[in-house]
Amino acid sequence: MKKVLLTTVVVSIFGLSACGPKAFVKGQYDDVTKENLLNDQWSETDMQVVVKAMVDSLVQHPSISNAKKLPIVIVTNLQNKTSEHIDTQSIMDMVRVELTNSGKVAFIDKEARQDISDEYDYQNTGTVSAETKKTPGGQIGADFIINGRLDAIVQEVGKDKSVFYKITLNLTNLKTSVITWTNHKQIRKTFKKKSIGL
């Protein structure tokens, strides 16, 4: 009787622990270029697909491909009009990196402006030699601004769910305020809802 009771207690403990919260304790590196459809949210695969499409389109546009001098570009804001929390700064960072690596454009670092101003102040304290000191007035002005918007439409009927994303980017001429280039990339993903048991 004691053996039966002990066995019942042990099985119950294991059973209850199996129903408790789970923790991810073992991991491995994965190929970042492999499709990620782990859930119905915006993923790195989505980001890679849209950035590649936008960069390929932009570098082929005559304003970039036929430019007589290297266009100077600044990246501003990508509006997130979806209901998800999406790091749009990361998307624009990837756009900037891919465009820079194409060798077709050069970028001004908007985020570094305050650091540059602070460095000018420091170099003007007399600590830095006159031969190497940098002063305001020598920076290059941007020719173009890149900005855009990310939209989403989510449809759910029964066990079926469809998630549609559209990213639109614009290249605006700073001198004329004319949109020189614009394009969009659309992605639609479909999912089936499954019951998750204990």
Q: What pTM, to 2 d.p., does this model score?
A: 0.78
Is it the case that residue 36 has pLDDT exceeding 90? no
Burial class (CB in 10 A: 0-12, 13-18, 19+), 33: exposed
* 157 CB-side CA count, 13 A: 3
What domains appear along the chain, each with residue ranges and CATH number?
Answer: 40-146+168-184 (3.40.50)
Detail the DSSP E strand segments found in 54-136. 72-80, 106-107
The CA-based angle 77-78-83, given to 5 degrees, is: 135
pLDDT, one tens digit per residue, over 37-91 is 666 778 888 999 999 999 999 999 999 999 999 999 999 999 999 999 999 999 9
Percent of the chain with pLDDT over 90: 63
Which three-class secondary structure state does DSSP give residue 139? coil
* Cβ neighbourhood burial of 172 (10 Å; 0-12, 13-18, 19+): middle
**CA-CA distance, 47 to 54, in Å (whole number)?**
11
The residue whose two tokens read 């004319």 is 178
In what side-by-side order are the strands of the sheet with 160-173? Answer: 106-107, 72-80, 144-157, 160-173, 179-192
Number of H helices, E strands in the chain: 5, 5
| 162 φ/ψ angles, rounded to the nearest 5 degrees | -125, 130
**Is 90 exceeded by the pLDDT of residue 5?**
no
Cα–Cα distances (Å) from 163 to 26, 102, 154, in that order, read: 30, 31, 5
Lowest mean pLDDT, pick from 23-27, 91-95, 128-132, 179-183 = 23-27
